[in-house]
Amino acid sequence: NVLVEDARTGLTVETLKKAIQNNLFYVQGKYPEIATRNDYYMALAYAVRDRILQRWVASVKQYLQEKHRIVSYLSAEYLLGPHLANNLINLGIYKETEQATKELGISLDWLIEKEVEPGLGNGGLGRLAACYMDSLATLEVPAIGYGIRYQFGIFEQDIRDGWQVEDTDNWLRRGNPWEIARRELSYDVKLGGYLQHYTDRDGKFRSKWIPELTVKGVAYDTPILGYKVNTTNTLRLWKSEAPRSFDFQSFNAGDYNFAVNQKIVCENLSKVLYPNDETLNGKKLRLQQQYFFVSCSLQDMIGIHLRQGEKIEDFQSTFSVQLNDTHPAVAIAEMMRLLLDEHDLDWSTAWRVTSRTFAYTNHTLLPEALEKWDLELFQSVLPRHLEIIYEINRRFLDEVTVRVYGDPEKIRSLSLIGEGPRKYIKMANLACVGSYAINGVAALHTELLKKTVLKDFYALYPEKFSNKTNGVTPRRWMVLSNPKLTELISSKIGDGWIKHLEELSGLEKFADDPDFQKQWMDVKLEMKKNLARKIKNRTGIDVNPESMFDIQVKRIHEYKRQHLNILHVITLYNRIKQNPEIDIVPRTFVFAGKAAPGYKLAKLMIKLINSVGDIVNNDPDVKDRLKVVFYPNYNVTNAQKIYPAADLSEQISTAGKEASGTGNMKLSMNGALTIGTLDGANVEIRECVGEENFFLFGLTAEEVARIKSEGYNPYGYYQNNAELKLAMDQISSGYFSHLDDTVFKDLVKSLLYDDQFLLFADYQSYIECQDKVDVAYRDKVKWAKMSILNTARMGKFSSDRSIQEYCEDIWKVKSVPVSLNG
Ligand code: 26M
């Protein structure tokens, strides 16, 4: 009885081999003798995609068989990272594929490295969306992610003469085997124009929107496979195009130039990701992008709902829609417009549906980062939505005026419209009023939200608020990026932890075992050697794998305080210069991260890191005890190489500023110890790993607030701290910049006179804490134990746990197992 496997679904080595060869011929039109590396990459990717398609179709079928509530995640960003290796792991065919490619005479790693990652996000928020899509599928929850198919993702960073330079990210240049264009699935989206008011036959007052422009959104679907389950959810990204109709209209009117121009305007909508993070920039195109993807997504959801034979007023029984920050918050007004104008519901029915559909996640406490839209700009793009927002606001303020006893201060703060020299729309307020649930992303962050930025909403609707501490997927951030550690862990406690991360606690009993400690630190050393090789290739810098790898990788931002880290480097350097024989633990400082192209100070921080590196790395007195590396173009691919090699994780933001952080979790899971402030999820990480396994320093959020209210005086700290003063004087006098005393002027000025992030106030505490790190690292046995315990106690920080909480508390959805050929 011979079992013949289907070449498109079979999972044995033999069948995979055949599938790759087949695809090489039938998709790429090549045979082995002339196939390029990319041909093989494509052939393998299509072979993997075939296997996913079977599960994808089965999932859709399963979801339509009975009625299930579907999670709809709206996010302007998805920072997925490369697909190939992740899909092999989730399909459970990594080993088999490795063997199959080997037998074809090619290395799997070599193909994996060929993939250009889709960088459709800036940082934490976009990466969180990607981890959540992974966990939703792994937990077998029916879900759709909606977003924008940017033709150009986050820029590529290069470093020239120590400065960041940006290059476009043309990630689609070699095609994308992981998406399927659904040409037939498209929606029209109106923009601009004006309103006509009239009374209809039934005597109802109505607004008719006469748009200036209509664009078409076309769906591009990417399958999101769960780990070792059949569930395969969809990430649906919208590409903007010109509707066919108007070239005809314009051609007929004889205006060829107009037609071509309009086509360009339409295609521009999904052209490029805005590279800002935590900063406002009220650009018209950004609002158009947000509205474009939200409108397509809601029209799509309504279509799915109605095709199931349901009534429009029961929409919320089919979908729960999560808003990833306020970027998609215009969905609340768009839902009202669709229900009122296109589906003829009355206001109160429409509002009941809308306000039971949406839930809002806040990701920032920086008041300057809360989205605001200039009212006139908003009106010029979305005149009908402005009218709707006015009406939402009128009814809302009517209702609350009584409850706040007419307090004008409170009414002003709650209003959806801000008054100033110019009026503006407050998107966070719209999100709060239109959502049935509001959450922060770490315990401290949620508490601060309730006490500060959203305090008046919390007073009105305490029951809407909850905390959902972020998490990260162990599939990508452990199994995929650190296979050696994965193997070691599984050899001791089995592999159940990959789906049930709390099981890592089983490692605790090996924390004192000398053999296990040795194996643990051997893996770490091997990962450090790998990273050292990459660093050498990319930057030319030689680093010692035996030195402590002290790592800060994240977006460059004043509040994240990469410059506090560099002040520590300078301080160590000066100690060596003053006492060349000083006994300090050799360290390699690794920095990586992008600065928003318009953020001058952040770009200057990158220059400072590189300038200090040039001096420190090349000073013979240092004797290679210190190395400073700026690893260019931080992205998911590079992050996967860096995390496993970390000994020390720098999480040093000003307390109260980092909403959660997720890199802090990835580093700790990979056995790094954290030096950090009581900020974001650091607080909870410390609670879990134990205070004796965490290097704590710095002011608390409360102390920060108090010092700021009393008036922070950085100059005093500078004058009274000799090491700090020396370091700052060197920076300003040009010690690190060939005696050019102008380069770092703006940075020095900001730190000495108007630093919002209290760098100097935390300097001494940081340095003392780093001195403790130095002492701790000398005790290899103790360090190994602390490292093991960090990993063992990180179970809480799986995105599976986060998603479980969202499902139970907010979305009220359950898992729906998918069976093949069912
Ligand atoms: C805004 C306007 C115009 C263009 C872009 C933006 C914008 C884009 C991304 C603003 C903020 C963006 O992301 C913010 C972000 O990544 N926040 C981080 O979210 C993580 C996930 O919750 C948290 O872990 C981090 O603490 C938080 O900084």
Q: Is 470 close to ligand 1, i.e. is its CB under 6 Å away? A: yes
Quote the CA–CA distance of 677 and 769 in Å, as a whole number: 11
Q: Is 446 close to ligand 1, i.e. is its CB under 6 Å away? A: no
Give me the pLDDT at residue 3, please.
64
Domain regions of the chain by residue span: 11-66+83-116, 67-82+117-468, 480-804
Q: Give me the active site residues, please.
A: 363, 554-555, 560, 662, 666
User: pLDDT digit string (tens) for 554-587?
Assistant: 999 999 999 999 999 999 999 999 999 999 999 9
Look at residue 183 and tell me whether its pLDDT is greater than 90. Answer: yes
What are the CA-CA distances from residue 209 to residues 191, 382, 601 (Å)?
9, 9, 43
Fold for 480-804, please state it. Answer: Rossmann fold (3.40.50)
What's the gap in Å between 346 CA and the centre of ligand 1?
36
What's the gap in Å between 641 CA and the centre of ligand 1?
23
- Contacts for 343 with CB less than 8 Å, ≥ 6 apart: 302, 312
Quote the CA–CA distance of 24 and 17 in Å, as a whole number: 11
Q: Is 653 close to ligand 1, i.e. is its CB under 6 Å away? A: no
The C-alpha R_g of the chain, in whole angstroms, comes to 28
Quote the CA–CA distance of 293 and 313 in Å, as a whole number: 23
User: pLDDT digit string (tens) for 134-172?
Assistant: 999 999 999 999 999 999 999 999 999 999 999 999 999
Q: Is 131 close to ligand 1, i.e. is its CB under 6 Å away? A: no
Across the strands, what pairs with 216?
A: 188, 241
3-state DSSP assignment of residue 51: helix
Quote the CA–CA distance of 359 and 380 in Å, as a whole number: 27
pLDDT band with cut points at 50, 70 and 90 for residue 821: confident
Quote the CA–CA distance of 327 and 794 in Å, as a whole number: 31
Provide the token pair at 462: 């305490």
- Contacts for 757 with CB less than 8 Å, ≥ 6 apart: 558, 559, 561, 654, 657
Provide the token pair at 90: 């989730």
In DSSP notation, 422-486 reads S-EEEHHHHHHHHEEEEEESSHHHHHHHHHTTTHHHHHH-GGGEEE----B-HIIIIIIT-HHHH
User: pLDDT digit string (tens) for 184-193?
Assistant: 999 999 999 9
Quote the CA–CA distance of 474 and 229 in Å, as a whole number: 16
pLDDT band with cut points at 50, 70 and 90 for residue 278: confident
**CB 429, CB 414: distance < 8 Å:** yes
Q: Which of 368, 361, 352 is nearest to 327 (CA)?
A: 361
**CB 679, CB 444: distance < 8 Å:** yes
Eight-state DSSP code of residue 472:
B
What's the gap in Å between 124 CA and the centre of ligand 1?
6
The two domains 67-82+117-468 and 480-804 share their CATH topology (first three levels equal): yes
Q: Which CATH class is domain 67-82+117-468?
A: alpha beta
User: pLDDT digit string (tens) for 318-374?
Assistant: 999 999 999 999 999 999 999 999 999 999 999 999 999 999 999 999 988 899 999
**CB 653, CB 561: distance < 8 Å:** yes
User: pLDDT digit string (tens) for 573-624?
Assistant: 999 999 999 999 999 999 999 999 999 999 999 999 999 999 999 999 999 9
What are the CA-CA distances from residue 730 to residues 28, 94, 264, 587 (Å)?
58, 52, 51, 21
Helix residue ranges, H only, 693-779: 701-710, 714-720, 722-733, 745-753, 759-778
Mutate to test the pocket of ligand 1, among 278, 361, 441, 468 (most ligand atoms within 8 A of CB): 278
Quote the CA–CA distance of 16 and 108 in Å, as a whole number: 13
What are the CA-CA distances from residue 633 to residues 30, 175, 312 (Å)?
33, 22, 47
Handedness of CA 46, 187, 297, 120 (dihedral sign): positive
